[in-house]
Amino acid sequence: EDAALLQRFQERIDAEERIEPNDWMPEAYRRTLVRQISQHAHSEIIGMQPEGNWITRAPSLRRKAALLAKVQDECGHGLYLYAAAETLGISREELVDQLLSGKAKYSSIFNYPTLTWADIGAIGWLVDGAAIMNQIPLCRCSYGPYARAMIRVCKEESFHQRQGYEIMLTLSRGTAAQKEMAQDALNRWWWPCLMMFGPPDAASQHTDASTRWKIKRFTNDELRRKFIDATVPQAHFLGLTVPDPDLRFDESTGHWTHGAIDWEEFRQVVAGNGPCNAQRMERRRRTEEDGAWVRDAARAFAEKEKSRHKA
């Protein structure tokens, strides 16, 4: 690649200019974006499954309406993100093939089961809370279509986070059994949520390049720390205990220090061996097959329209 083009590109990034689809960009920048945006899109789509599991069993009409809207928003986020990835010159079909063949990843967090209603509260509070922490800086990402998609996505995530926290608040102030259910959900979701931010900085192969290109504005560990600092006081307000005996507030730094994260668990889940990986992929493949007739019909209709206009 031409050194002058590369230098000009980095100058535009350094000057906080947005890169748009028709602008020149290094192949590695394009590849990184396709990887990250498509993984993000796949996460939204696979992420509909754990919560979709509770739509028919929501405890009231109000809860059901909110959960339906949230899961529908996630589908919308997936579609904006696929569209943003397509501006980089890859088709939706290729992206979906990469997911179904196991070549593309999706977030580790969606491979854990939703066992009780409190899990719906914990997902909104913690998983969406983590998603917001990671996505607010992405609103300033150097690639225009991704940054713009993130603005609307973050607004919706903020509603999701509040609906989750409100479920947790209701359960924590409910009967002893309800409070116990909330605590159990926090126990199961806390550590996997910390893993959502990705491997520790020393093991993160993409952070350096992505930071230079201003795709990432913070490292994985920085965002994880911000999330812990924001979330621990919320757990205390709920009267719940964070399942980390080593958690301490460090007066000298103003941050919470935490116990060791089980990175072997993370590796296993990313490698496909988490509790629900097989189920999530099986469900996604079946849905793709079940929807084939809709795509066929749309294609046949488009062909018919084309020949009608020609005639």
For residue 304, the minimal CB distance to ligand FAQ (Å) is 37
3-state secondary structure 234-256: HHHHHCCCCCCCCCEEECCCCEE
Reported in sequence order, the residue ranges of 91-186 that DSSP labels E, i.e. its strands, are: none
**Distance separating alpha carbons of residues 52 and 47, to the nearest angstrom:** 9
Candidate list 38, 49, 98, 107; residue touching ligand FAQ; CB under 6 A: 107
For residue 138, the minimal CB distance to ligand FAQ (Å) is 7
Q: Of 129-168, which residues contact ligand FAQ (CB under 6 A)?
A: 131, 134
For residue 306, the minimal CB distance to ligand FAQ (Å) is 37
Q: Toward ligand FAQ, which CB reaches closer, 204 or 241?
A: 204
Q: What is the DSSP string of 120-136?
A: HHHIIIIIHHHHHHHHT
Q: Toward ligand FAQ, which CB reaches closer, 131 or 171?
A: 131
Number of residues that bind ligand FAQ (CB under 6 A): 28
For residue 94, the minimal CB distance to ligand FAQ (Å) is 16
How is residue 216 written in tokens? 């990432």
Using the rule CB under 6 A, give the single segment among 15-23, 32-40, 93-101, 257-265 that binds ligand FAQ.
32-40
DSSP 142: S
- Find where tokens 């997911």 sit: 99
Helix and strand counts by DSSP (H, E) for the chain: 14, 2
Q: Which residue is nearest to ligand FAQ (CB)?
A: 47
Q: Which residues bind ligand FAQ (CB under 6 A)?
A: 35-36, 39-40, 43-44, 47, 74, 105, 107-108, 123, 127-128, 131, 134, 195-199, 204-207, 210, 220, 270
